[in-house]
Amino acid sequence: MYDQTNIFAKILRGEIPCKKVHENDHALAFHDISPQMPVHVLVIPKGPYTNLEEFNAGASLEEMGGFMRAVAETANLVGAAQSGYRLIANNGSDGHQEVPHFHVHILGGRPIMGGMIKAQD
């Protein structure tokens, strides 16, 4: 069940501020409050989806497409598209998801030295 009080829901409702990078009809992108890399941006769907399972079950193809477009456009806007970046979606408890609103991290701005499952070196 989606928790309407989670921090990203509050950002979407304009109750708390964010450093917005990009927005379209279906997604919002903003800087992570605790950046782990020179580029660390979060992209969230505007709909009330806790995780990828809820997003898959409840989002229209238009919402899904709009979300993926926002991810790619955001990576481009922050200057990471050319040199590359890592996308991470921490999903559910085993994935150590902290905020219960589906989101993707865009991490970049320098080479990532870690292996497959590391968020940063």
Q: Which residues are catalytic?
A: 103
Contact status: 13 vs ligand AMP (CB under 6 A): no
User: In this structure, are residues 41 and 85 in contact, taking their beta carbons and an 8 Å threshold?
Assistant: no
Alpha-carbon distance of 71 to 4, in angstroms, equals 23
Backbone φ, ψ for residue 85 (5° rounding): -165, 175
**What minimum distance in Å lies between the beta carbon of 98 and ligand AMP?**
4
Supply angle C-alpha 109, 112, 116, rounded to 5.
140
Q: Which is nearer to ligand AMP, 39 or 42 (CB)?
A: 42
Contact status: 6 vs ligand AMP (CB under 6 A): no
Contact status: 34 vs ligand AMP (CB under 6 A): yes
Per-residue binder mask for ligand AMP (CB under 6 A), 82-111, x = binder: --------x-----xxxx------------
User: In this structure, are residues 14 and 30 in contact, taking their beta carbons and an 8 Å threshold?
Assistant: no
Query: Contact positions toward ligand AMP, by CB under 6 A?
Result: 7, 18, 30, 32-34, 42, 90, 96-99
